[in-house]
Each structure stands twice: as structure tokens, then as C-alpha cells.
């Protein structure tokens, strides 16, 4: 992933973790289902956080982030994105 894509996904993660209206989703939970990922992607698109993108593309990017980011980084991210943050 490009640095720009990673930065965008981190912004999305912050939005998903801090906005009370966002569906519960974070890669730290490690038990996300495809449906929770789809809901998160749809919410990001519907709320204007992914201009020019559709929910499928946002979901793919979120899934790629979960695969590409080393587990150690996700463990460290737990400090910033607690499981109950959303």
C-alpha cells in the first residue's frame, strides 16, 4: 500500500473508533466478519469520508490494511483503538 493509502485508512479507523454513529469495526478486534467490514465501509462512504469511492473499494482497502499491517503494529494500535471504542 502507498503511504497515502495507509494515511487515509488510519483516518478512517480513527473515525470508526471515535464517531458514536459509526458501526463497530476495528482490525484490532481480529474477529471482524465480512458483514462488519461491509457496514464500516458503507458508513464511511455514506458519511462522505471516502469521496469518489464506493463501499466495495473502501472495504477492500480496509481488508488489505488488516492483511498488510504486521500483527505487532495492530497490537500497538490497540492503545489508540480499544475494542469498545466504536
Domain that holds residue 19: 3-77
Q: What is the pTM of this model?
A: 0.73
Residue 44 has pLDDT above 50, yes or no: yes
Query: What are the tens digits of pLDDT across the range 46-86?
Result: 999 999 999 999 999 988 887 766 555 555 455 444 444 44
**Residue 48 in domain:** yes
**66 falls within a domain:** yes
Burial (CB count <10 Å: 0-12, 13-18, 19+), residue 34 = exposed
In the chain, how many domains are there? 1
Q: Is residue 86 part of a domain?
A: no
Query: Is position 42 within any domain?
Result: yes
The answer to whether the CB of 13 falls within 8 A of the CB of 81 is yes
Tallying the residues shown for the chain, one arrives at 86
82 in a domain, yes or no? no
Average pLDDT, the chain: 79
Within a domain: 84? no
Amino acid at each position: 500500500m502507498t503511504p497515502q493509502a495507509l494515511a487515509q485508512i488510519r483516518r478512517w479507523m480513527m473515525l470508526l473508533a471515535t464517531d458514536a454513529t459509526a458501526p463497530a469495526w476495528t482490525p484490532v478486534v481480529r474477529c471482524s466478519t465480512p458483514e462488519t467490514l461491509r457496514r464500516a465501509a458503507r458508513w464511511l462512504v455514506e458519511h462522505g469520508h471516502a469521496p469518489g469511492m464506493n463501499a466495495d473499494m473502501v472495504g477492500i482497502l480496509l481488508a488489505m490494511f488488516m492483511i498488510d499491517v504486521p500483527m505487532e503494529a495492530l497490537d500497538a494500535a490497540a492503545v489508540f483503538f480499544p475494542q469498545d471504542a466504536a
